[in-house]
């Protein structure tokens, strides 16, 4: 261990349990790569972290102040990239961990981006549309010096969507005096969004699952799938994997879960959710709690909700062959070890859910060039990138005899480490 010049580094504000988890994952990769200690130090802290207070007028004319964050973890390979989360649990540690994962995710996919994440601590469901718009615009104004098509490019995440991105793009453009579509990705198509972006994360999850099945000599037909979460990622994963011939037997959302051992009709379920907002009350299904849902016997389990869902407490009872991490950080370190010992095939988050940021990259490029691609082209390029990343990770995991998460992290860390060495240290 190298002596630390700065003792306060041992306890920075963002050093929360989830950040420690991200850091410990990185350190496993750094150890395995025997990473130069000088480089190691440069990865362990975010490059910059911006904290803002966001005052907005509520509909009842009172003023409320919300806490917002934008963290840039690394910018070695290009502008930083990552979503904006609106959720009551958002804090500096969580956003910093998510920013670090974005760095690894972009590097693994070969995208010319660093990693970032942002968020506002709020309950978006408790705010009116007008309140959400004011919150989004004021937040954008507060962080405006730190974002830009060449600097840092936000996107949707939990609790945000294409409407929020449209407001961010408009606010940024108003400040600059002309339209700048490249400031965010995940925008509506009619203001420069990309075809296929909405489905991209789910599509990437399914590409990875299909590759994993091929490796494990399984065929998709009739395979039982369980999905925790039915937001953008969960719902699109469900629909696309259903089209591959699998059977989605259970899904859940923030409120409750539903189960049908013979498979759910996903198109009808999406129509039900469109109408009622929740999966609850869907015909031809029985209710199931979150805990039981995660422990159902199935072929593929897809956590597509929040972090830290598979822990030391339930890892022994997870009963799937493939675990595809559509969410960021759904498996804790202790659970990782248990799952690995039990021989489950895990597709780590930075690989499984990287389809979203990959099509964000396509959207950014299309916006910069004002030249738009066909959906088929987008999906084909996505398949190429995701499948080749999957196979690179798989090969390294087999040759180095490490699990898929460690292999993915090793590839990412090594890539950025080499880039840092090539660029040198300023001044």
Annotated active-site positions, please?
A: 117
Q: Which among 156, 180, 172, 22 is positioned nearest to 101, based on CA atoms?
A: 22
With CB under 6 A as the contact rule, which of the stretches 4-12, 29-37, 204-212, 349-357 interacts with ligand GLU?
349-357
For CA atoms 7, 13, 18, 22, the dihedral sign is negative
- Distance between CA 53 and CA 224 in Å, rounded? 46
Closer residue to ligand GLU, CB minimum distance, 78 or 263: 78
**83 lines the binding site for ligand GLU (CB under 6 A):** yes
Number of residues lying near ligand GLU (CB under 6 A): 12
- Total number of residues shown for the chain: 427
Closer residue to ligand GLU, CB minimum distance, 83 or 220: 83
With CB under 6 A as the contact rule, which of the stretches 27-35, 206-214, 356-364, 401-409 interacts with ligand GLU?
356-364
Please report how close the Cβ of residue 96 comes to ligand GLU at its closest, in angstroms: 14
Please report how close the Cβ of residue 158 comes to ligand GLU at its closest, in angstroms: 8
Q: Which among 234, 354, 368 is positioned nearest to 305, based on CA atoms?
A: 234
With CB under 6 A as the contact rule, which of the stretches 10-18, 49-57, 78-86, 240-248 interacts with ligand GLU?
78-86
Closer residue to ligand GLU, CB minimum distance, 187 or 224: 187
H helices, E strands: number in the chain: 14, 12
Q: According to CB under 6 A, which residues from 260 to 299 bind ligand GLU? A: none
**Alpha helices (H) in 81-178, listed in sequence order:** 92-109, 129-142, 162-176
**185 lines the binding site for ligand GLU (CB under 6 A):** yes
Contact yes or no for 337/346 (Cβ under 8 A): no
Closer residue to ligand GLU, CB minimum distance, 185 or 307: 185
**357 lines the binding site for ligand GLU (CB under 6 A):** yes
Instruction: Give the side-chain half-sphere CA count within 13 A for 391.
Output: 10
**412 lines the binding site for ligand GLU (CB under 6 A):** no
Contact yes or no for 318/296 (Cβ under 8 A): no
Q: Which helix (H) or strand (E) holds 85?
A: strand 80-87
The DSSP symbol for 316 reads G
Closer residue to ligand GLU, CB minimum distance, 299 or 349: 349
- Distance between CA 421 and CA 424 in Å, rounded? 5
Structure tokens at 79: 């502008």
**155 lines the binding site for ligand GLU (CB under 6 A):** yes
Taking CB atoms, the residue at the shortest distance from ligand GLU is 83
**360 lines the binding site for ligand GLU (CB under 6 A):** yes
With CB under 6 A as the contact rule, which of the stretches 240-248, 250-258, 340-348, 350-358 interacts with ligand GLU?
350-358
Among 81, 121, 272, 405, binds ligand GLU (CB under 6 A): 81
Contact yes or no for 251/230 (Cβ under 8 A): yes
- Distance between CA 223 and CA 218 in Å, rounded? 9
**73 lines the binding site for ligand GLU (CB under 6 A):** no
- Angle at CA of residue 83, ends 79 and 86, nearest 5°: 145
What is the rounded (10 degree) CA torsion for 74, 80, 81, 83?
80
Q: Which among 353, 280, 312 is positioned nearest to 98, based on CA atoms?
A: 353
With CB under 6 A as the contact rule, which of the stretches 17-25, 80-88, 129-137, 396-404 interacts with ligand GLU?
80-88
**332 lines the binding site for ligand GLU (CB under 6 A):** no
Contact yes or no for 271/230 (Cβ under 8 A): no
Q: According to CB under 6 A, which residues from 118 to 137 bind ligand GLU? A: none
Please report how close the Cβ of residue 204 comes to ligand GLU at its closest, in angstroms: 9
Among 76, 285, 353, 397, binds ligand GLU (CB under 6 A): 353
Task: Give the strand pairing for 63-74 and 300-303.
Answer: unpaired
Beta bridge partners of 38: none
Please report how close the Cβ of residue 408 comes to ligand GLU at its closest, in angstroms: 14
Among 157, 199, 211, 299, binds ligand GLU (CB under 6 A): 157
Binding-residue pattern over the window 371 to 410 for ligand GLU, x denoting contact by CB under 6 A: ----------------------------------------
Closer residue to ligand GLU, CB minimum distance, 43 or 362: 362
Please report how close the Cβ of residue 135 comes to ligand GLU at its closest, in angstroms: 18
**330 lines the binding site for ligand GLU (CB under 6 A):** no
Convert 238-285 into a string of H (helix), E (strand) and C (coil).
HHHHHHCCCEEEEEECCCCEEECCCCCCHHHHHHHHHHHCCCCCCCCC
Residues that bind ligand GLU (CB under 6 A): 81-83, 155, 157, 185-186, 328, 353, 356-357, 360
């Amino acid at each position: 261990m190298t002596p630390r010049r700065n003792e306060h580094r041992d306890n920075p504000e963002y050093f929360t349990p989830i950040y420690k988890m991200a850091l410990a994952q990185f350190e496993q990769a750094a150890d395995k790569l025997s990473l130069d200690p000088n480089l190691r130090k440069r990865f362990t802290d975010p490059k910059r972290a911006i904290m803002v207070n966001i005052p907005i007028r509520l509909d009842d004319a009172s003023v409320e102040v919300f806490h917002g964050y934008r963290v840039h973890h690394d910018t070695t390979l290009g502008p930083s990239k990552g979503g904006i989360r609106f959720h009551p649990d958002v804090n500096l540690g969580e956003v910093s961990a998510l920013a670090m994962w974005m760095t690894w995710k972009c590097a693994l996919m070969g995208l010319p981006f660093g990693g970032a994440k942002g968020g506002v601590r709020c309950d978006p469901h408790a705010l009116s549309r007008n309140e959400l718009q004011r919150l989004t615009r004021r937040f954008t104004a507060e962080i405006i010096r730190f974002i830009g098509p060449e600097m840092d490019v936000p996107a949707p995440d939990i609790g945000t969507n294409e409407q929020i991105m449209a407001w961010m793009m408009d606010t940024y453009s108003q400040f600059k005096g002309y339209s700048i579509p490249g400031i965010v990705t995940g925008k509506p198509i009619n203001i420069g969004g990309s075809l296929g972006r909405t489905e991209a994360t789910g599509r990437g999850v399914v590409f990875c699952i299909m590759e994993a099945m091929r490796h494990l000599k399984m065929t998709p037909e009739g395979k039982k799938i369980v999905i925790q979460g039915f937001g953008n990622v969960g719902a699109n994963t469900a629909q696309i994997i259903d089209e591959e011939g699998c059977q989605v037997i259970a899904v859940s959302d923030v409120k409750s879960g539903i189960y049908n051992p013979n498979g759910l009709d996903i198109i009808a379920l999406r129509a039900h959710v469109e109408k009622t907002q929740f999966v609850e009350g869907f015909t031809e299904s029985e209710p199931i709690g979150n805990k039981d849902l995660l422990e159902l016997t199935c072929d593929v389990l897809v956590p597509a909700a929040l972090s830290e869902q598979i822990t030391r407490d339930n890892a022994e009872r997870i009963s799937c062959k493939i675990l595809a991490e559509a969410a960021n950080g759904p498996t804790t370190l202790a659970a990782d070890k248990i799952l690995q010992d039990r021989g489950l095939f895990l597709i780590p988050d930075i690989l499984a859910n990287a389809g979203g940021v990959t099509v964000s990259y396509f959207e950014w490029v299309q916006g910069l060039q004002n030249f738009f691609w066909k959906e088929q082209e987008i999906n084909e390029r996505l398949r190429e990138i995701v499948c080749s990343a999957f196979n690179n990770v798989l090969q390294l995991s087999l040759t180095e005899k490490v699990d898929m998460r460690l292999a993915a992290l090793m590839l990412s860390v090594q890539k950025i480490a080499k880039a840092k060495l090539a660029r040198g240290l300023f001044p």
